[in-house]
Amino acid sequence: MYSSEYNALLERLNTFIAKYHKNEIRRGLLLFLLIFGLSTLTVFLLEYVEHFTLTVRTVLFYACLTLYSAIFLRFILYPAMALFNIRNGLSHKQAAEIISKHFPEIQDKFNNTLELAELVTQNRYSASLIMASIDQRAKLLQPIPFHLAIDFRFNYKLLKYLALVILVYLSVLIYKPIIIKEGSERILHHRTHYVAPAPFMFILENKNLTVSQGEDFEIKVKTQGQYVPQKVYVVIGSTRLLLSNTDKSTFTYSFKGVNRSFDFRFEAEEVVSSSYRLNVVFPPQIISFKIEIIPPAYTGLSSTIAENTGDITIPCGSQVKWLFATSHTDSLWMSINDSSKIPSQHENDMFVIKQRFFNSANYTLFPSNKEMVNRNNMTYAVNVIPDIYPSIQADFVTDSTLWGMYYFKGSVNDDYGFKKLLFTLKFGKDSVRTISIPIQNNLLNQEFYFAYDFSSLKNVNGNIEYYFEVWDNDGIHGSKSTKSEVKNIRIPDKKEIEQYKNEANKNIFEQLHQSEKITSDLEKELKQLQKNITNSNNLSWEHTQKFQQILEKQLSLEQALKKIAEQNKQKNNLINTFTEQDKEMLEKQKQIQELLENIMDDELKKLIDQLKEMMKNLDKSKLNEMTQELKMQTEDVNKELDRTLELLKKMNVEEKINNVIKDLDKLAQEQENLSEQSENKKTPSDSLRNMQQQQQQDFKDLQQKYQDLMKENNQLQEPFNMQNFNEEQQQIEQEFQQGQEELQKNNRKGASKHQKNNANKLKELSEQMQKMMQQNQEEANAEDEESLKMTLENIKNLSFAQEDLLLQTKQAKPYVPKYPQLSEKQNRLQGNVKVIEDSLEALAKRNPMIKPTIKKHLKKIKGYDRQTL
């Protein structure tokens, strides 16, 4: 309807109106801040200085609040509502008048233009003429800057005043902020009663106004101000208590045994402090407790309970359970070694703590409630008894009749029990053998017995370690073991056995020779003693002393012979354990052992005992007779020693020959095996040459052994008929050498042929030696048989002659010439007895089967002969 020029004019006018309202908002905000700053600064300063009453502060507070609300509503909210068209703001005519006043040259043109625009709507005048006039006037108003009609100068003035107020505010905050702080605090808290500043003030130095029931509590207060009062009281209800002056401005008072909470304040010279409250808290306490100790099951110990005692001693791994009865306690925890903390659990209105102990420790209990933790606690100790290692002790005795037979007796001890007991054998690098020994696991101290035959390990050469090892039943750390003393036994090899045998035989032979010398000396001494007794009228002290010395030598001889017999027995046991012996050789060993054990027979021992008894009551005739008897017995012992020594030497030679035969058989088998290895080409040539060289050396050793045997055999009283086998040995040596040469040429086939031939020749040599020994045995048996026949014939003839002589003696009359003839015949018969004795002795030296009982009978015959004469 209106032209574009008029619409543009209206648009510019609306823009002016919006800017006008925004300027009003700015002005209102500045005015609000200025009045707020001035009023608050004035009110805070007045309150700080005057300390208004509660009523005045309340009036000032609400007066300021009303002023601020009015300014905000009129100068900020009201223009803002006009700006956002919430209310009617500045109209176009009002805006036009403002602009016309600012620009006088416009005069009434702006208002006229607006009035003309209103006429257009009335249709009373020509619209076209009016619009033309409006357009003309609009064009005239177009260059006018309407926004210059808004007055900003008042805003700048307000801004200057506001800056001045802010500057003053900042100065106060910097130089004396207490004015703002206290003034604002008292105005804002206008309903709170504030005491007017006194010449001094009370400062309570106790940070915590809490005390445990029944404990003392000291309050400490300090005065600060223009001067210090002389007396300060603490007021509790209507009671005033004088405080002690500890220094110029500090006062204290101690409340004794506080049991309830109460309020108090301080007074001095009409100055009263704020009210304080001392709160009494009830300390947590442990009334009683008990401890249940549950040892590990493997110990077999029963559970125990300790009441109201904190220090306990327990087995390692025990579960400990504390049960506490408490008062005023909300929680309870335990500190172990001042590090780990263990909380408690509730069970049936009691606090319960459970803990398993493996090491000794100290623990402290801490009951607490919401107000406090009770720090006045005792520290207790848990003494843990560790599961100690088991102990073991073992001793043994050996069986003198069986090499390697050990009988063990030992004891084991532990604090709780055992798991197992083992006997352990270690041999070689990694070979271990264990034998379980039954024990009672729950018996803490017990003995055990065990026997072991080490000869069962005769195929194990070298040193063997053995010991007992016992394990306890420790269920916490696992079974612990303790070993007995580690001992060693050596299983001898073939070379060591032979060396032991040679040394043992040498020792036995030497001791037998020494025993023979002793018996020879005894014979001489007895003969001399007998001569001295016969030539003396009475027995002298020298006679008895000499006889006593002879008896002592006899006893020494008896002990020496026992020792020889025992050594020979041990030697046989060792040899028979590790080497195989034929039945014939075992029988010879047994027979010679019996000879050694019976060299001094029971009759001689009885005679020595009689002589000892007779020494108490000496009788010349009896002593002379007994000396003669002892002399004869000693002669017999000497003969038996000579016989036994010869039999031992002969059996030693025979055993050595048998060993050479066995070694030849073994070497023959080794040559045959080497022949097969040489032929199959699997074994390296170097190994074959080394084995051939070793077997050749073994044969040389056997040759030397045989040569030594021949020398030893020649020293026998009746040596074996031994051949030298020189030709056979040379052939075998030649085969060895040829086999070695073929191996050097790497001719395995040729070497194998020589080795096979050599194996056959070794077997042939072994067979020849066996045949030689068999022939020797047959010849010896035949000779013994013939000798025995002759001896039996002589004994029979002697018996008939003695019977005939007995008959003649009975028929003869006393004191007749015939008695000398009979005595001569008896002498001849005694000579025949000597022949029989010599024959039996020669036979006994060849054959151990001749029993000592035969010689006993022969001894009786000789005794009867002497008595007859």
Tens digits of residue pLDDT in 71-118: 888 888 888 887 787 777 676 666 666 665 655 656 555 555 555 555
Confidence label for 122 from pLDDT (cuts 50, 70 and 90)? low
Q: For residue 818, what pLDDT is reported?
A: 56
- Output the six-digit token pair for 30: 């500045």
Closest CA to 786 of 846, 827, 727, 736: 846
Stretch 506-524: mean pLDDT, rounded? 82
Mean pLDDT score, 371-398: 87
| Residue 462 vs residue 42, higher pLDDT | 42
For the ranges 119-133, 585-599, 793-807, which has the lowest average pLDDT?
Answer: 119-133
Neighbours of 685 (CB within 10 A): 14
C-alpha–C-alpha distance, residues 780 and 49, integer Å? 156
- At 586, the pLDDT band (50, 70, 90 cuts) reads confident
- Residue among 182, 212, 184 at smallest CA distance from 280: 212
Nearest to 637 by CA among 600, 608, 610: 600
pLDDT band at 165 (very low <50, low <70, confident <90, very high): confident
What's the confidence (pLDDT) of residue 126? Answer: 47
Spatial contact of 18 and 90, defined as CB atoms under 8 Å apart: no
Summarize pLDDT for 301-345 with one digit per residue, the tens: 999 999 988 899 999 999 999 999 988 888 888 999 888 888 888
pLDDT band at 515 (very low <50, low <70, confident <90, very high): confident
Distance, CA of 110 to CA of 122 (rounded, Å): 20
Q: How confident is the model at residue 745 (pLDDT cuts 50, 70, 90)?
A: confident
For 222-231, the pLDDT digits (tens) are 998 888 888 9
Which of the 8 DSSP states describes residue 663? H
- Determine the pLDDT at residue 131: 57
Pair 678, 748: CB distance under 8 Å? yes
pLDDT band at 262 (very low <50, low <70, confident <90, very high): very high
Position 825 scores a pLDDT of 61
For residue 817, the model assigns a pLDDT of 56
Q: Shortest CA distance to 10 belongs to which of 126, 141, 149?
A: 141
Cβ contact 631:524 at 8 Å: no
| pLDDT at residue number 553 | 80
What's the mean pLDDT in 55-69?
88
Residue scoring higher pLDDT (150 or 562): 562
Give pLDDT tens digits for 557-576: 888 888 888 888 888 887 77
Question: Which of these ranges, 71-80, 174-183, 518-527, has the smallest mean pLDDT?
Answer: 518-527
Report the share of the chain in percent with pLDDT over 90.
20
Average pLDDT score over residue span 490-508 = 81
Q: Which of 24-33, 173-182, 546-555, 783-792 has the lowest mean pLDDT?
A: 783-792
Q: Each residue of 218-254: pLDDT tens digit?
A: 999 999 888 888 899 999 988 999 999 988 889 999 9
Residue 689 in contact with residue 740, Cβ under 8 Å? Answer: yes
pLDDT band at 804 (very low <50, low <70, confident <90, very high): low
| Average pLDDT along the chain | 80
210-212/276-281 β-pairing:
parallel
> Where residue 801 falls among pLDDT bands split at 50, 70, 90?
low
Residue 413 has pLDDT above 90, yes or no: yes
DSSP H helices, 681-747, are 685-714, 726-744
Percent of the chain scored above 70 by pLDDT?
Answer: 78
Task: Answer whether residue 143 shows pLDDT above 90.
Answer: no
Whether 360 shows a pLDDT value over 90: the answer reads: yes
* Per-residue pLDDT at 134: 52
Across the range 516-531, mean pLDDT stands at 78
CA distances from 243 to 31, 268, 816 (A): 56, 11, 159
d(CA 474, CA 484): 19
Stated length of the chain: 869
The region of weakest confidence among 307-321, 653-667, 855-869 is 855-869
Residue 277 is predicted with a pLDDT of 93
Q: Which own/partner pairs from 673-677 qualify as long-range (CB within 8 Å, at least 24 positions apart)? A: 674/755, 675/752, 675/753, 675/755, 675/756, 675/759, 676/752
User: Who wins on pLDDT, 697 or 93?
Assistant: 697
SS3 375: coil
Residue 601, pLDDT > 60, answer: yes
Question: Looking at residue 4, what is its pLDDT?
Answer: 56
* Cβ-based neighbour number of residue 289 at 10 Å: 20
Strands 312-315, 379-385: pairing is parallel
Which SS3 state, helix, strand or coil, does residue 142 take?
A: coil
φ, ψ (nearest 5 deg) of residue 286: -95, 115
CA 615 to chain centre: 71
The predicted structure's pLDDT at residue 422: 95
- The DSSP secondary-structure symbol of 373 reads B
pLDDT (mean) for 121-131: 52
pLDDT, tens digit, 9 for 90 and up, residues 807-840:
666 666 555 555 566 566 666 666 666 666 666 6
Confidence band of 843 (pLDDT split at 50, 70, 90): low
C-beta separation of 482 from 410 below 8 A = no
